[in-house]
Amino acid sequence: MALVAAATHHFTYDEILSITKNFSQVIGVGGSSTVYYGQLPEGGLKVAVKKLKESGSVLGNLLAE
- The Cα-based distances of 35 to 20, 25, 47 in angstroms read 10, 9, 10
Alpha carbons 50 and 11: distance in angstroms, whole number: 13
Q: What is the DSSP letter of 32?
A: S
53 assigned binding-site residue: no
Binding residues for ATP: 51
Binding residues: 51
